[in-house]
Chain A
Amino acid sequence: MNLTALGLLILAGLLLLGFFVLRRRSPAALRRIEAFETLNRAVGLAVENGTRLHFSLGRGNLYGARGASALAGLAMLRRLSERTSVSDNPPVVTSGDASLAILSQDTLQSGYRAAGAEDQYRFTTGRLAGLTPFSFAAGTIPTIHDENVSTNVFIGEFGPEAALLTEAAERQNSTLVAASDNLSAQSIFYASSQEPLIGEELFAAGAYVGAGPAHEASLHVQDILRWLIILGILAGSLLKFVGAI
């Protein structure tokens, strides 16, 4: 049994519960991340001028370690769909994995329900774009080009094919907010988007779009655990340096 992993899990769980209770009483003050400010502005503009929000959850499946980025994307989608469901052009979601496409439809429907517009929900707005990396890109590009999209949000697992999607968004002069847990995709998004999201900022998305106190609590726990890891690495280096280990 891996005691370190179990200990970390229990500690994270306890801290998450603690901060969740705390944040329900007083909301957190979050540091400014330009990409999320741009996104909030772009979403408001899209609703006002009747253009469309395109949300892509990538092609990662939910059965592996990479599934968490898709889950973070779904949490963000839930909030954004609620805010944009009343638009003349409802949001459209593309995925490269079948189970993710089904979950995106369910999440979209929840957003519509919360906004009191469930009758306007169409299941064809949550789409499976393709099952291989490039077929996913080829299936997503027409959505960016032809469906009056003004804002693109790419959150999830992408690979190098993300460059084709960012290029399509650039050609349409649309706003692009992108984050991935894949290092290749991160470097592409860094080169292609105005305000890139780096590393774990992907998992902060929910807190910045108002997904609730649990997401704010998550951010606090992430910070605490990160500092613990930094201290651990420093202590390990020091002990190694003095020859204690």
Chain B
Amino acid sequence: MRVLATVLAIASGVIVLLGYFYPVESLLGLRLQLTNWAMVIAAMAVLVGIVNLVSVQMEKIRTRQKGAAYGGILVLSLIVTFGFGLVFGPDDVFMRAVVNAVIVPIEASLMAILAVTLIYASIRLFRRRMDVTSVVFVVIALISLIVVIPTSFGSGIGDSIRQFIGMFSSGGARGLLLGIALGTLLTGLRVIFGVDRPYGGN
């Protein structure tokens, strides 16, 4: 079974890759078909994931772990919204209200907490690691924050500073992204060669 899974995975990977480099009709059709199947499987995976989420919360409730009450609320909310979604569809007024009145405000609150958390983390950086790069990191972060503040003198100096810092930061970011691209290429090749098999285990 594991051999079959490996053969199917490698064959699918090679076909999709060949479809990219040799855009002939038959390969493109096969590539599109495989991509469509992947989308269907991904949708099914969401359902499996939700079952897993419910199982974890039910185990919390059954064994009376810390936060079991929140787990109960989560499962109850999930059943109610899932049921409503199935009956009335995702465009129903109630379903829209769930998104606009519950999910959006909660995520916005978390975003606000995030801003404070990031400032706190920057301050703690000196306690954790007092070196040149840490000082440069915090100083540049502070300058970047200051230059985006609107002033009555116009944006001339701010733009010049931003352009100067941007020269270094975009160069550094491109370097990091090139490294990540190489890592991505090699990881993909390991999967296509069947050395790494996250499906079916190895």
Contacts and interface: CB of A to CB of B under 8 A. Distances in A.
Interface string B50-61: 101101100100
A113 B41 CA distance: 26
Contact of A13 (B42, B52, B189): B189
A133 B103 CA distance: 12
Nearest to B176: A199
B81 interface: no
Contact of A164 (B38, B70, B110, B199): B110
A60 B141 CA distance: 27
A203 B49 contact: no
Interface residues of B, number: 65
Interface in B29-85: 38-39, 41-42, 45-50, 52-53, 55-56, 59, 65-67, 70
A127 B56 contact: yes
A97 B178 CA distance: 25
B135 interface: no
Contacts of B39: 63
A102 B44 CA distance: 11
Interface in B114-143: 114, 117-118, 120-122, 124-125, 128-129, 137
Contacts of A107: 198, 201
Interface string A104-138: 01110110010000000001101111011111011
Contact of B175 (A61, A105, A128, A199): A199
A199 B180 contact: yes
B166 interface: no
Contact of A123 (B52, B65, B182, B193): B52
Contacts of A1: 21-23
B190 interface: yes
A221 to B, nearest CB: 6
A188 B121 contact: yes
A51 interface: no
| Chain A facing B: main interface SS | helix
Interface of A: 1-2, 5-6, 8-9, 12-13, 16-17, 20, 61, 63, 65, 68-69, 71-72, 74-75, 78, 97-99, 101-103, 105-107, 109-110, 113, 123-124, 126-129, 131-135, 137-139, 142, 146, 160-161, 163-164, 166-167, 170, 181, 183, 186-188, 190-192, 194, 198-200, 202-203, 212, 214-215, 218, 221-222, 225-226, 229
14 contacts: A17-B193, A71-B188, A78-B201, A99-B41, A103-B199, A131-B46, A135-B103, A163-B121, A167-B117, A183-B177, A199-B175, A200-B179, A200-B180, A214-B195
Given A69-B180, A102-B48, A164-B110, 12 more contacts: A1-B22, A6-B21, A9-B185, A12-B185, A69-B183, A71-B191, A133-B107, A183-B173, A183-B177, A203-B183, A222-B179, A222-B182
